[in-house]
A = this chain, B = another copy of it.
Amino acid sequence: MASGKPSVGFVGLGAMGFGMATNLVKQGYPVKGYDVFAASVERFKAAGGIPAASLRDSAEQRQYYICMVASAPQVQDVLFNPETGILDVLPRGATFLLCSTVSSAYAQSVEKELKTRGRDDILFIDSPVSGGAGRAADGTLSIMAGGSDAALEKGKFLLQEMSDANKLYIVPGGIGAGSNMKMVHQVLAAIHIAGASEAMGFAARLGLDAHAAADAIVKSDAWTWMHENRSKRMLEEDWNPGASAMTIILKDVGIITSTARLHTFPTPLASSAEQLYLTSLVHGYGPKDDSSLVRMYTPDSLVSVKCTLSPEETARRLKMVTTLMQYTNIVAAAEAVAFARYLKVDMKQFFDLVINAAGGSKMFNTLGVAMGEGITTGEAAKGALRIDNIINELSRIVQEARDLYTPLHLATEALNQYILAQRRGWGGEAATSIIRVWES
């Protein structure tokens, strides 16, 4: 309190929330934290936080409250549970930051329910975050925040404490706009997390050294932020407890596909990824780190593969892996850009956000803007990256994977989109034209 910084209540001390809360402690805020797991509260206390004895205890007399629980049902419980919810104890005029990833429809329902219950004095900000546990702890997250001007004005300093200076996006459109922005970002995150496992699983099946493959991807046109982040954990295979549990990305992708169904909008790649996440749950991987999805591609440890191939053959196979992933990432970029356009998301903010956050990929970062502006032909069409060429090359790689009995959930779905585009007469166009499959 000596710092004069206002006291903050916090619920949800999981992988991300713990980092966010302790970062605020480090910045000098008195933070009272709660979690349903007592051990997390103890750990928070050890890190300098103030332990809350109950959920309501974390909210009493706090003018600022941050909610970082895992899902909409948990948010609902935190706010509105008649016995334990914070609604009755939050001071009048308090600022409530909802940082959990929820659907825009759910965020809007919270706004409505606050009003119905006579608590529209609460300054509500819909502000999902992205960037992983590391950036949460550093206070350099990407944050997508929407709400009333009054709420944003009052809560902005806290959003700034938690985010990188260049990565705080005040999204126009009120409550729901931040969640929509996060959702279209997560289209890329959900596909790329699965894609990281698909590429590394394929590499293992090809007999490639896992470290060499992971490095080659990072340095190639197949780069994704998620691959660079997840491949380390994939190599270590320390999945329990997970840094980012399978159930978290599964929840996020569920928001995407359920929103897409509401709009009757196709999201074939996100949907394939979701099916794969669900299948991993059947096999017990729900609580494990999402990089354990690689087990859906290969039963053995990645690092157990000892590469015995010639340098030439090694190079050829590495190139197959990166090409497969690159061409899949182009379709992922198109799916995300098309969905964002369809939802009338601010595209400039969207591109800036993705490029600087966990959804980024070499393909999105270089081709996404052209896709978003409908620049689907031109110079690129003259080069190698034409849809016809991609189909030829990808078909060959998919067949070689098939001969090794390697599943390729995303790449085969991506190939199907290219084939649909070709059949509609766009085979001679640049790869960016793949977005036309969604935009017709």
Taking beta carbons and an 8 Å cutoff, which residues of A are in contact with B?
250, 254, 257-258, 261, 264-266, 268, 271-272, 274-275, 278-279, 281-284, 295-299, 391, 395, 398-399, 402, 405-409, 412-413, 415-416, 419-420, 422-424, 440
Contact A422 B297 (CB under 8 A): no
Please, which residues of chain B bring their CB within 8 A of the CB of A409? 275, 279
CB < 8 Å neighbour of A282 from B258, B261, B298: B298
Contact A275 B416 (CB under 8 A): no
Please, which residues of chain B bring their CB within 8 A of the CB of A415? 261
Please, which residues of chain B bring their CB within 8 A of the CB of A405? 250, 278, 281
A38 → B minimal CB distance (Å): 27
A261 → B minimal CB distance (Å): 4
Question: Would you list 6 pairs from A and B whose C-beta atoms are within 8 A, ordered by A residue?
Answer: A264-B391, A264-B395, A268-B416, A271-B416, A275-B408, A278-B407
**How many Å lie between the Cα of A258 and that of B258 in the bound state?**
32
**Given known contacts A266-B423, A282-B298, is B398 in contact with A261 (CB within 8 Å)?**
yes
Contact A264 B419 (CB under 8 A): yes
Contact A258 B407 (CB under 8 A): no
Contact B399 A264 (CB under 8 A): no
Contact A407 B264 (CB under 8 A): no
**Given known contacts A266-B420, A279-B407, is B440 in contact with A395 (CB within 8 Å)?**
no
Please, which residues of chain B bring their CB within 8 A of the CB of A254? 402
Please, which residues of chain B bring their CB within 8 A of the CB of A264? 391, 395, 419, 422-423
Q: Name the CB-closest residue of B to A279.
A: B407
Q: Name the CB-closest residue of B to A268.
A: B416
Max count, chain B CB within 10 A of own CB: residue among A264, A271, A408, A440: A264
CB < 8 Å neighbour of A257 from B295, B391, B402: B402
Max count, chain B CB within 10 A of own CB: residue among A258, A266, A406: A266
**How many Å lie between the Cα of A413 and that of B391 in the bound state?**
20
Contact B278 A279 (CB under 8 A): no
Q: Name the CB-closest residue of B to A260.
A: B419
**How many Å lie between the Cα of A279 and that of B294 in the bound state?**
11
A411 → B minimal CB distance (Å): 10
Please, which residues of chain B bring their CB within 8 A of the CB of A295? 282
Please, which residues of chain B bring their CB within 8 A of the CB of A279? 279, 296, 407, 409
**How many Å lie between the Cα of A254 and that of B399 in the bound state?**
9
**How many Å lie between the Cα of A413 and that of B268 in the bound state?**
7
A238 → B minimal CB distance (Å): 21
Contact B412 A440 (CB under 8 A): no
Contact A266 B440 (CB under 8 A): no
**Given known contacts A257-B402, A398-B261, is B424 in contact with A440 (CB within 8 Å)?**
yes
Please, which residues of chain B bring their CB within 8 A of the CB of A283? 283, 299
Please, which residues of chain B bring their CB within 8 A of the CB of A399? 258, 261
Contact A275 B423 (CB under 8 A): no
A180 → B minimal CB distance (Å): 19
Give 3 nearest A-B pairs by CB, closest first.
A278-B407, A261-B395, A266-B419
Other CB < 8 Å A-B pairs besides A264-B422, A282-B296, 5 of them?
A271-B416, A275-B412, A278-B402, A279-B279, A279-B296
**How many Å lie between the Cα of A408 and that of B408 in the bound state?**
17
Please, which residues of chain B bring their CB within 8 A of the CB of A402? 254, 257-258, 274, 278
